[in-house]
């Protein structure tokens, strides 16, 4: 294990942003992968002992000892496995093979009285171990780190939606002033979208599926040794005992459609948040949102007055990088030449990097949302300066009252013109409508024309 200073890290994930990515270390580090392989090999050995056909016997104390190997796995253990792989030991020459190194490590660590060398890794191909190990790490990484971070962002959005449910704000469609909304309702839209995206990620994580079918997916080695054992049923039971679904039909490799589905789901969540990042950035640029400042914090190296939306910019950059990586992973891991090629092995080692960029993006966005404060005065001034947005309301009331040319009347008054509420009221005075309708029209203001925005904000 390395004690390298973060300032010397090759990647910002382990350098500048290490404090954000640290929660992923137990799931995405090389040590974590080695430990997961040890777990698979140990549990597989115990499962073999439970078969009636095999002469292997492992008593309760020995099982406890074996499981303690991965439960108490530490940096020294990981270093030994790596040494067996790369330089060798007094007992073993360098394997230049990471899974074989785990097998030899377990030979050294097996309990006294158990001579199980011939049963370790019995009938397996390395991919049987690796595909399970990766999923044993990826599943909790998503469920224990990524999903909680996403839910924190959703909760921040819900708080904003509820706190500012009644705050009127000018909308912009095609970049132009449009029917007013409320700031809370706009945040509720993102909370709702993110909630659905979280559900897709959660389901995809729950669907992760492993294989244990040998060198070409035929159970050949298992079957030739013990033809009377129902190996497909054994494999299904074993894989499910690890908390994973079972993939029964494979080549040497797990086809990884489950990984692709998870990566696609994460991309979907990230796309929602990228949209949010850009919207909030624009709200800050329009001064609709202010940002709370911290004492001593620098916004610009040369312009002291600035409070830049750096959390949203950082989130946007990291989520964009994450989606680039996730798209690459989803497209790559589902392809393998014939029954298997090894290019996927190095690619899968980068899954942690994609998750790390996701996590940084989520945490930066959550921090940014915690700092923003709607500038209700600016929002109100903008609404007062664009009275033409009540034109939709005027023409809908007139349509209701039987004016078939209502749209054309309002269009003639407002399109391309600087219009005031007084101009609207002059139009109202010329209309042949009942006094109560005149009163209804005269009461219209941009700030009051927000429909059910406040009520919709409560639906999060």
Helix, strand, coil abundance in the chain, percent, nearest 5: 60, 5, 35
Rounded to whole angstroms, the Cα distance separating 48 from 114 reads: 14
DSSP labels for 139-159?
HHHIIIIIHHHHHHHHHHHHH
The 3-state DSSP class for residue 170 equals strand
Task: Give exposure, 83-105, as e/b (b: 16+ Cβ within 10 Å).
Answer: ebbeeeeeebeebeebbebbbbb
Place of tokens 């494999």: 235
Identify which of 368, 370, 457 has the alpha carbon closest to the alpha carbon of residue 189. 457
d(Cα 17, Cα 31) in Å, to the nearest integer?
20
- Which one of the listed residues 8, 174, 301, 305 is annotated catalytic? 174
- CB proximity list for 14: less than 8 A, separation 6 or greater: 6, 21
What whole-number distance in Å separates Cα of residue 223 and Cα of residue 235? 12
Q: Is the Cα dihedral 284, 290, 292, 295 positive or negative?
A: positive
Has 357 been annotated as catalytic?
no
- Rounded Cα–Cα distance for residues 362 and 51 (Å): 46
The number of residues in the chain equals 460
Structure tokens at 263: 């990566």
Q: Is the dihedral of CA 349, 351, 352, 353 positive or negative?
A: positive
The catalytic position among 11, 97, 241, 300 is: 300
Please confirm, yes or no, whether 31 is among the known catalytic residues.
no
- Please check whether residue 441 is in contact with residue 397, taking contact to mean a CB–CB distance below 8 angstroms: yes
Write out the catalytic residue numbers: 174, 300
């Amino acid at each position: 294990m390395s004690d390298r200073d973060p300032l010397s890290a090759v990647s910002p994930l382990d350098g500048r942003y290490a404090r954000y990515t640290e929660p992923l270390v137990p799931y995405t580090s090389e040590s974590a992968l080695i430990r997961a392989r040890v777990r698979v090999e140990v549990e597989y050995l115990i499962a073999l002992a439970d078969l009636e056909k095999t002469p292997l016997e492992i008593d309760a104390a020995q099982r406890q000892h074996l499981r303690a190997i991965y439960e108490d796995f530490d940096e020294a253990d990981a270093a030994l496995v790596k040494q067996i792989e790369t330089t060798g030991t007094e007992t073993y020459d360098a394997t230049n093979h990471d899974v074989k190194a785990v097998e030899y490590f377990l030979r050294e660590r097996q309990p006294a009285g158990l001579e199980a060398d011939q049963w370790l890794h019995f009938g397996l191909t390395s991919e049987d171990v690796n595909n399970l190990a990766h999923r044993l790490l990826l599943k909790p990484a998503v469920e224990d780190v990524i999903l909680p971070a996403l839910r924190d962002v959703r909760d921040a959005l819900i708080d904003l939606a509820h706190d500012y449910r009644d705050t009127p704000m000018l909308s912009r469609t095609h970049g132009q002033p449009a029917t007013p909304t409320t700031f809370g309702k706009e945040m509720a839209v993102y909370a709702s979208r993110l909630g659905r995206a979280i559900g897709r990620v959660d389901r995809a994580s729950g669907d992760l599926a492993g294989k244990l079918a040998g060198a070409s997916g035929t159970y050949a080695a298992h079957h030739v040794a013990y033809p009377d054992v129902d190996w497909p049923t054994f494999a299904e039971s074993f894989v499910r005992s690890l908390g994973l679904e079972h993939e029964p039909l494979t080549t040497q490799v797990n086809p990884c459609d489950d990984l692709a589905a998870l990566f696609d789901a994460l991309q979907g969540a990230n796309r929602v948040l990228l949209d949010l990042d850009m919207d909030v950035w624009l709200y800050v640029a329009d001064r609709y949102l202010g940002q709370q400042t911290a004492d001593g914090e620098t916004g610009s190296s040369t312009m002291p007055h600035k409070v830049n939306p750096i959390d949203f910019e950082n989130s946007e950059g990291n989520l964009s990088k994450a989606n680039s990586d996730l798209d690459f992973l989803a497209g790559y891991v589902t392809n393998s030449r014939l029954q298997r090629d090894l290019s996927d092995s190095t690619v899968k080692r980068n899954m942690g990097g994609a998750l790390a960029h996701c996590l940084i993006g989520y945490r930066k966005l959550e921090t940014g949302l915690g700092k923003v404060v709607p500038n209700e005065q600016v929002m109100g001034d903008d609404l007062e300066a664009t009275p033409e947005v009540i034109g939709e309301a005027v023409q809908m009331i007139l349509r209701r009252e039987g004016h078939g040319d209502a749209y054309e009347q309002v269009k003639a008054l407002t399109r391309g013109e600087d219009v005031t509420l007084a101009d609207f009221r002059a139009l109202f005075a010329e209309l042949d409508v009942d006094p109560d309708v005149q009163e209804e029209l005269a009461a219209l203001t941009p700030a009051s024309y927000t429909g059910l925005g406040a009520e919709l904000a409560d639906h999060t």
